[in-house]
Amino acid sequence: MKTCFILNPTSGRNRRRPALAGLLRDFISSRSLDAVVATTDGPGHATHLARDAALAGCTTVVAVGGDGTMNEVAQALLHTPAALALVPCGSGNGLALHLGVPTALLPALNLVARIGGRVAQIDTGSANGHPFFNAMGLGLDADVSRRFNTLTSRGLPAYARTAFAAFRDLRTERVFISTSDRRETLDIVLVAVANSDQYGNNARIAPGARTDDGALDLVAVRTVGFLGAAALAARLFCGRFDRSAHVCRLQSPSFVIERAAPGLIHTDGETHATGATVGILVHPRSLRIVVPVTSSAVAVVDALSPAGFALQLP
């Protein structure tokens, strides 16, 4: 019943906490946990560390970082008995916020140690083979992610400034969106496909979306001017984004998005160059994850018991 903490020292708030690895080891010692701390040294390393941890028999693998770290760790745990746990340290933390995982360090660590926690299974998604767990997107969505990833200072204000700069340079794109029984032709600013209800920072791109319903929620924003975009931005934070006339929302286990030329997509904020056609699939209940007992975002799957998956505390 071993746990592996995978720490990204350059993720979000972690840059300002150089002693975090020591704090994690102190916590492990104070709780008498059978656990180790591994530190990433570059892009993709968290996936290798998480895969090694799962193969070594770890029952819990903890992503200590932002959405990119979460994505890298979760990739290695798909369809395995190991459960993902989150210690959110990024600038968005969309999946953590959706599931009710605390963003403060000690409460998040206590959840890892199974104080007030349970294990659930959630759906995941893939876009042209790239896994995502919170959201993917193209158009403005992908361009903002590309620009944001070059910044040394993160957070909501920086994200807002980046989104404004990207919007100024935006060009409308015509896309064809298909499900098994529907086809839409839209001139769009962006398309987001969400597993949870939000990007992060409680900006709810798909109000009411769930991570355990066997479907993904596609939100397409039609061509909109500056004032319309400002109104939409306000709607993100009041749970009414999809009620705008500028927004088309679809729900399906799969989507095919066709555009005029190859371009960028993002998966949980990390960008990839892909072809003109983007195939998106849901993978139902494919990831085990630690959530608060009080979370209503996912149904109960596993109760924590001495004979089961949980770490038992003294």
Residue 36 clears pLDDT 50, i.e. is over it? yes
Give the residue range(s) of CATH 3.40.50.10330 domains in the chain: 3-124+285-292
Q: How far does Cα 35 stand from its chain's mean position? A: 24
For 173-222, how does the pLDDT look when each residue is reduced to its tens digit (9 = 90+)? Answer: 999 999 999 999 999 999 999 999 999 889 999 999 999 999 999 999 99
3-state DSSP call for residue 3? strand
9, burial (CB in 10 Å: exposed 0-12, middle 13-18, buried 19+): middle
Q: For the domain covering 130-283, report its CATH number.
A: 2.60.200.40
Q: Where are the alpha helices (DSSP H) in the chain?
A: 20-30, 45-55, 67-77, 94-99, 105-112, 140-148, 156-168, 226-236
* Start and end residues for every CATH 2.60.200.40 domain found in the chain: 130-283
The model's pTM is: 0.88
Residue 311 pLDDT level (bands cut at 50, 70, 90): very low
For residue 104, the model assigns a pLDDT of 94
At 254-303, the pLDDT tens digits run 999 999 999 999 999 999 999 999 999 999 999 999 999 988 888 755 54
CATH superfamily, with its number, for domain 3-124+285-292: Probable inorganic polyphosphate/atp-NAD kinase; domain 1 (3.40.50.10330)
